[in-house]
Chains A and B, each alone.
Chain A
Amino acid sequence: MRSFRRVVRALVTGPARRRPIRALLPVVGVAIGVAAVAAIHHANRSVTDSFRESARAVTGRSDLAIVGAHGVRLDAIRPLEFLWRVGSIAPLLSGSAVVDDGSREIVALLGVDYGGDPNVREMRLVEPKTAAGRVGMVASGSVLVPVPFAARHRLRVGSRLPLVVGGARTEVPVGGLLELSGLARASGGDIVVTDVFTAGRLLGRSGFVDRVDVALDPGVAPDAVRREIERRLAPGTWVEAAGRAAESAGRMARAFRFNLNALGLLTLLVGMFLVANAVSISVLRRRPEIATLRALGTSRSSIFGAFAVEGLAVGAAGTALGIAGGIALSRAALAVVSRTVSSVYSPTAKITAAGFGEPAIVAAAVGALSTLLAVIVPAVQATRVPPSPAMRPGSGEHGERRRKRGTRIFVASLALVLAVVLARARPIAGFPWLGFAAVALVVVALALFSPILVRTAASATRRGLARAFGAAGRLASGFFGGAVARNSIAVTALAMALGMTLAMIVTVASMRETVRTWVESSLRADLWVRSASGTGGAVGDLPPEVVSALAAVPGVAAVDPVRVREGSDPGGRTFTVGGGDFRVLARAGGAPLLDGRDSRRVAAEARARGEVLVSEPYSRRFEAARGDPVSLRTARGIRTFRIAGVYRDFSNDRGTVLMDRTLYVGLFDDPRVTSAGVLARPGVSPDDLRRKIRTDLGGRFAIDVTTNRALRRQVLEIFDRTFTVTHALEGIAITVAILGIANALVASAVERRRSFALLRALGASRRQITSSVLLEASLAGGVAVAAAVLAGAAFAALLIGVINPQSFGWSVVLRVPFVRLAAAVVLVLAASVAAGIVPGRIAASVDPAAGLAEE
C-alpha cells in the first residue's frame, strides 16, 4: 500500500501540485457537464413530480375511479350508492379559469362534494373556523382558495374573486381558505374549489362530473366492488384504477424531457472526453517516469491504479463542483422548461421546483461513471509503456503512429453499418431507443476515425501551410500530426459537440419551416375565437351558443366550431379527440393530408360516410393508416370508425382523432366549443371583422379574437421558446469542447518545452512560435469542423428521419439553413483559434537556455 502511495505521488499528486491550473481544466470540463445534467434532470424531475403531485392531490386515497367519455352524469351516481356501505365516493368536476384581476393567472377550477370528499381527498379549512360559518359557505355557492393564493390576490373570506370561466366573466364569493395541503396542492396550489353544482354552472357542464373517486374501507376487496360497479354503470362510463391519472401525467412530455436529458448527457460526454484527454496527456508526459518505475519493478496494476486515482479525483472534484453549478443553473433551466411545458403540453400546469437531492445523486453517479469510463483507456495505455524505449529522451507518442489503423477503420465502418441497421428499426415501446443507439454508434465511429483524420489533415496541409505561413505553417502541421492521440481526443469532443449543434440547427430549421407551412395550410380561418385568457393560449372553453352568435355577425361567411378533448380507446390508451365542422373543412381546406389528396374532398366524403381523420402522430403511435378501423370510447359506448385519411399535425404529439362536429356531439353529448374558426365574407377585412365580433359578442362572452396572422406568429413564438433550452445546452457543450482544445494545446505547449527551446535556439521568433500554435489550433478546429459536418449530417438524418418521427410522430421536410450553419462553423473556428492564444504564449515564453538544459 505504501509503495502504491509512492507511485501515486510520483505520477499524479506531485505533477498536479506543480501545475495546478492544468489539473483544474478537466475538473472544470466535468463540472460543466455534471452541472448541465443535474440542472436538466432537476427541471425534468420538477415537471414529472408536479404533474404527479397534482394528479395525486386530486386522486387522494381513492382506490377506483369511475370515468366516462364525456364524464359521468350526476344521475348515474344514484345506482352507485351501495358504495357508501363499503367505502366513500367523491365526484369531481375539473376545468380551468383565468383570474380576471389583471394578473391573468390560470387556475384549476375543481368542483367537489363537500360531504363525501373529506373521506377521499384531504382538504383542511383554515377559515371559517365555526361550524355555522362552514354551513354558510356550503350554501352560498362560494369558492375555497388556498391561503397563499388568497394572499397573492389579496382575498379573504367574503371577498369576490373575478374569473373568466367557460367563456364568460363572473365573480364568485370567497367562502373559505384552505391550508396548502392535500387537494389544495393540485396545480401547484393555484386552484379554486367549489361544489360540483357551482362548478358545473361555471364550466357549462351542469349535470356532469369528470370522475367519481371511490375509496374503499379497509378489508374490502376492490375486484368484487369493481365488478359490481361495472354491472351498474351506464354505457360510455367505465372503472379504472385510481393511479391512472398520475401515470398518464408522468408520460406527459416524455419525449421532450428525454431529448433534454440526451442533450445534457451530450455535454457530459464532451466533458468525459476532456477527462480522457487529460489522463492520456498525463500518461504521455510521464512516460519516462512510468518507464523508470516499471524498470524498478512497479507492477502494471499499480500504474493502472495511479492513473485511475487521478481520473477519479478529477471526476470527484468535477462532480462536486458541477452539482454546486447545477443548483445555480437549475432555476434558469426550470423556468425555460416549465414555460415550454405550459405552452405546449398543458396550460394549467404549474411546475414547482422539486428537491435537488435526487438530481444531485443522479448527476454524481453519472459523473463518476463517465469519469471511470473515460479513465480506463488511458490508464490501460499507461500499463503498456515498456520500461526501456520510453526512457530515451525524445521518445513519446511518435512510436504509436500508424498502429491499429486497419482495425480502427474496420470497427468504425462496422459501427456505421450497425447505425444504419438500427436507424431502420421500429421504435421500442413507442420510443426511439434504437435511434439513440444509432447516434451513439456514430459517436463511436467518429472517435475511431478521428486519429486517421488528424494524421491525414496533418500530412495533407504540410506543404500548403508551409507555403502560406512559412516555418510557422510547417511547424503547425508537424506538431498537429505529431500528437495524434491527444489531438484526436480533443477533435472528437469538439466534432461531437459541434456536429450535434449543426444537426440541431438543421432539425430545428426544418421543423420550423415544416410547422410554418403546416400552419399556413391548416389555419385557413381568418379569425380564431377562444375563451379569453389574455395569455395567447386556449384556457377553458366556450358555450355552444357562441357558434350561432358568431354566425349572426355581419361579414361572417362560416364558423368552424372546434372541440378538443381527451379520448381513449377500449384498451385505455389515451389521445386527443377533436370535433370540427367538416363542411367548413370541405369548403376552406386545412388538415393537409400526408398522401397529398385534397383534404376538402376527403373531408366531404368522411362527413357523408361517418369516417374520421387521424393525425400523423396518432398514425405513427398506434400504427393506424388510411382505411384502418379506429375504436373509441364514447358516451354511447364503444364505436368504431374507418380512417378516411392521415393529416399532418404539429399541435400535439399524443395523436388526434378528428371527426365531423355533428358526429362528435351525437357521440359525446358535448356541444361546447374549444375554439371557433371564422371565415370572413369576400371583401371583409379580418381586422374589421375582429372589431365587429368583439363589439357584438363582448358583452355576452369573455372571448379573445385572434387574426390568422397573429395566431401563426404565436405558434412560431411557442416553437422558438421550446428550443431555447436546447440552444443553451448546445452552447455549453461547445464551450466544454473548446476547453478540451485549449487543454490539449496547453499540454502540448508544456510537453514540447524542449522543442520550443530548440526552435528559439535555432532563431525562431516568439511570434513564429505563437503563430505555429495558433495555426495548430486552427488545424484542430478545422478538422473538428470537417468531422462535425460529416457527423452532423448523420446526426441530422437520425434526428429528422428516425428520432423525431418516433418520439413525436412528426415527419419533417428537410431544410438546410446554410447561413446559420456557416455562422456556427465560423464561431467555432474562431473559438478554436482563440483557444490557442494562452498555449501560444506559454510556448513563446520558453527560455531557450533553460529549456535545452532540461534534457
Chain B
Amino acid sequence: MSSPDARAAPSPPPAVLCERVSKIYPAARPVVALDAIDLAVRAGEFLAVVGPSGGGKSTLLHVVAGIDRATSGSVRVGGRDLATLSERDLTLYRRREVGVVFQFFNLLPHLTVRENVELPRLLDGKRDAAARAEELLRRVDLESRRDAYPGELSGGEMQRAAIARGLVTGARLLLADEPTGNLDSRHGADVLALLDEVRRERGVTLILATHSEAAARRADRTVELADGKLAPAR
C-alpha cells in the first residue's frame, strides 16, 4: 500500500504505540482481557482489530481512548504515555485528542442531535462548538435532522451523529468499537464508507474493532485479538 519512496523516507513516530500492554480485571479468578499486547499504529492509518466477542477488542480501544487504564505496559499516543497522565490530564486527553464511536451509539437521549455533536467541544469551552457541529452535521448528511432527539433517529443516523461527535474536537485519533454491530448491512456499509472518507479527508488515524469481514477489508491493516493476545490477521 505504501510507495517505495515513502518507505525510504524516515518513518514518522507511530500515532499509537502499545508496548506489553496488559489489562487484568481483579476477581476470584482474575480475567486477563489484554495479555502483553504490542501494537504500533501509524498516523493516518486505518487499522481493523478483529476477533471473537470477549477477545479484548473493546478493552484495547478503552485503554487507547484513556477510558480505562492498563494494568501494566505502556500506551503512547502522540508520544505521550497515558499511564503517566494525571486524572485531569487524562480527562483533557479524552476531550481533545481522541474521538470514540460506540456500538450502542451512546448519544445522550435528552440532547438533540446537534447538541450531542457539539458537546465534546462545548466541554472544552470552545465558542465555535455550534459552528463546528453544523459543519460536521452537513458532512455526515444529518443537517436536516439536527433538532431531532436520538430516539427519533434510525440506527444509521445515530451512528453518523456519533461519528460527527467523534470528529468535532479535531481529534487526530478516532476509535470505533463495533460501529456497525447494531446496523443492517446497508446502513453498516454506509457508516463504514463515511468513516473511511472522513479519515482520508482529515488525515485521522482510525482504529476499528469489528466482527465484520467486510469492514475489515476496508482497513489498511488488520490484526486479530483473541483471548487477549494479538496476532496478525489470517
A-side interface residues toward B, CB under 8 Å?
A: 393-396, 398-399, 466, 470-471, 474-475, 478-479, 481-483, 754-755, 758-766, 768, 848-849, 852, 855
A808 to B63, CA, bound (A): 73
Nearest residue (CB) in A for B149 is A398
Q: List the B side residues contacting A760 at CB < 8 Å.
A: 67, 91, 94
Q: List the B side residues contacting A471 at CB < 8 Å.
A: 119, 122-123, 125
Q: List the A side residues contacting B151 at CB < 8 Å.
A: 394-395, 398-399
Most buried by B among A763, A768, A848, A855: A763
Q: What string of 1s and 0s marks CB contacts (under 8 Å) between B81-113 and chain A?
A: 000000010011111100010101110111100
Say yes or no for B150: interface residue by CB 8 A criterion.
yes
Q: A394-B150, A474-B115 are in contact. Are A763 and B65 (CB under 8 A)?
A: no
A359 to B132, CA, bound (A): 65
Task: Choose among B68, B96, B102 the residue that contacts A849 (Cβ–Cβ < 8 A).
Answer: B68
A398 to B108, CA, bound (A): 11
Q: List the A side residues contacting B91 at CB < 8 Å.
A: 760, 763-766
Q: List the B side residues contacting A479 at CB < 8 Å.
A: 110
Contact B92 A755 (CB under 8 A): no
A398 to B150, CA, bound (A): 10
Nearest residue (CB) in A for B104 is A855
Say yes or no for B120: interface residue by CB 8 A criterion.
yes
Q: List the B side residues contacting A763 at CB < 8 Å.
A: 91-96, 120, 123-124, 169
A759 to B109, CA, bound (A): 12
Pairs of residues from A and B, 3 with the lowest C-beta to C-beta distance, nearest first = A763-B95, A482-B110, A849-B68
Task: Choose among A399, A470, A483, A848 the residue that contacts B122 (Cβ–Cβ < 8 A).
Answer: A470
Q: A758-B102, A764-B95 are in contact. List 8 more A-B contacts (CB 8 A).
A: A394-B151, A478-B111, A755-B109, A762-B120, A763-B169, A765-B91, A768-B123, A849-B62
Shortest CB–CB separation between residue A843 and chain B, in angstroms? 13
Contact B94 A478 (CB under 8 A): no
Shortest CB–CB separation between residue A454 and chain B, in angstroms? 12
Q: List the A side residues contacting B122 at CB < 8 Å.
A: 466, 470-471, 474
Contact B108 A755 (CB under 8 A): yes
Shortest CB–CB separation between residue A380 and chain B, in angstroms? 23
Contact B65 A761 (CB under 8 A): yes
Q: How many residues of B contact A (CB 8 A)?
A: 32
Task: Choose among B88, B92, B106, B109 the residue that contacts A396 (Cβ–Cβ < 8 A).
Answer: B109
Shortest CB–CB separation between residue A329 and chain B, in angstroms? 41
Nearest residue (CB) in A for B97 is A763
Contact B109 A394 (CB under 8 A): yes
Q: List the A side residues contacting B165 at CB < 8 Å.
A: 762
Most buried by A among B93, B95, B108, B149: B108
Task: Choose among A482, A768, A855 the residue that contacts B109 (Cβ–Cβ < 8 A).
Answer: A482
Q: List the B side residues contacting A399 at CB < 8 Å.
A: 151
Contact A852 B62 (CB under 8 A): yes
Contact B109 A762 (CB under 8 A): no
A393 to B124, CA, bound (A): 28
Q: A398-B151, A762-B95, A765-B91 are in contact. Are A852 and B123 (CB under 8 A)?
A: no
A390 to B123, CA, bound (A): 31
Shortest CB–CB separation between residue A773 and chain B, in angstroms? 14
Can you list 25 contacts pairing A with B, beta carbon distance less than 8 Å?
Answer: A394-B104, A399-B151, A479-B110, A482-B110, A483-B110, A755-B108, A758-B106, A759-B108, A759-B123, A761-B65, A761-B94, A762-B100, A762-B123, A763-B91, A763-B93, A763-B96, A765-B123, A768-B123, A848-B68, A849-B62, A849-B67, A849-B68, A852-B62, A852-B106, A855-B104
Contact B104 A761 (CB under 8 A): no
Q: A398-B109, A470-B122 are in contact. Are A762 and B94 (CB under 8 A)?
A: yes
Shortest CB–CB separation between residue B25 and chain A, in angstroms? 10
Q: List the B side residues contacting A759 at CB < 8 Å.
A: 108, 119, 123
A11 to B125, CA, bound (A): 42
A482 to B112, CA, bound (A): 11
Q: List the B side residues contacting A852 at CB < 8 Å.
A: 62, 67, 102, 106
Task: Choose among A393, A396, A474, A848 the residue that contacts B119 (Cβ–Cβ < 8 A).
Answer: A474
Shortest CB–CB separation between residue B176 and chain A, in angstroms? 13
Q: List the A side residues contacting B149 at CB < 8 Å.
A: 398
Contact B102 A762 (CB under 8 A): no
Nearest residue (CB) in B for A849 is B68
Task: Choose among B67, B88, B105, B125 the residue that contacts A848 (Cβ–Cβ < 8 A).
Answer: B67
A466 to B126, CA, bound (A): 12
Contact B115 A761 (CB under 8 A): no
Shortest CB–CB separation between residue A767 and chain B, in angstroms? 10
Nearest residue (CB) in A for B152 is A398
Shortest CB–CB separation between residue A792 and chain B, in angstroms? 30
Shortest CB–CB separation between residue A745 and chain B, in angstroms? 15
Q: A395-B151, A471-B122, A474-B115 are in contact. Are A765 and B88 (CB under 8 A)?
A: yes
A432 to B43, CA, bound (A): 80
Q: List the B side residues contacting A481 at CB < 8 Å.
A: 110
A341 to B165, CA, bound (A): 68
Most buried by A among B65, B88, B102, B123: B123
